[in-house]
Amino acid sequence: ASPEVYAEMLDRAKAGAFAYPAINCTSSQTINAAIRGFAEMLLASDLSAQDSRNYLEIILRHSERLSRLVEDLLELSRLESGKVTLEPEELDVAELAAKLCRELEPRLRERGMSVRIHAEGAPRALADARAVYQILQNLLDNALKYSDPDRAIDVRIRAQGELVRVDVADQGFGI
């Protein structure tokens, strides 16, 4: 893709990003309340070792989510300030999606879910690998969070003109 195409994509991302901090702040408050609530239960109760471990695992998961939200906000801030330097390289998007799915495997297994990757013609993109990875991670995280258990998530990757199109479809209730 040409530099003009990248500039247009960046402008679109910026235009749609203004509501993102408000959504993330609300999410971070919800996560923080969960962490605080489970920590208070641990401190105020004489729980069994197993119950304590379960609560600690919940606290850890929510803490990891909060860290991801903070990182997303920092990345958005860098994007808006123009401090993001994209480093385009030839990229196998299907391979990157497969790598991410391997990393998500424990969460997928926990919910009885699977991801099916459909790469039509194995298109390669000229893109920043870190940015594409983050976009795919956000899409798959949302699909994982909002889909019913024991369902499949479909990732379709195909060439569309000089661009590569990625669709993530889940069985969730939609937004």
Task: Give pLDDT tens digits for 4-47.
Answer: 555 555 555 555 444 445 445 566 777 777 778 778 888 888 88
If one compares 24 and 69, the residue with the highest pLDDT of the two is 69
3-state secondary structure of 60: helix
Task: Give pLDDT tens digits for 110-141.
Answer: 899 999 999 988 688 999 898 898 889 888 98
For residues 111 and 149, give the distance between their C-alpha atoms in angstroms, rounded to a whole number: 5
Give Cα 58 distance to the centre of its chain: 19
Q: What's the mean per-residue pLDDT of the chain?
A: 80
**Overall pTM > 0.95:** no
User: Which residues are paired to 75 by β-bridges?
Assistant: none
For residues 143 and 154, give the distance between their C-alpha atoms in angstroms, rounded to a whole number: 10
For residues 153 and 156, give the distance between their C-alpha atoms in angstroms, rounded to a whole number: 10
**77 residue type, one letter:** S
Q: How is residue 92 written in tokens?
A: 């196998």
Beta strands 114-120; 152-160: pairing state:
parallel
Q: What is the pLDDT of residue 18?
A: 45
The secondary structure element, H or E, covering residue 152 is strand 152-160
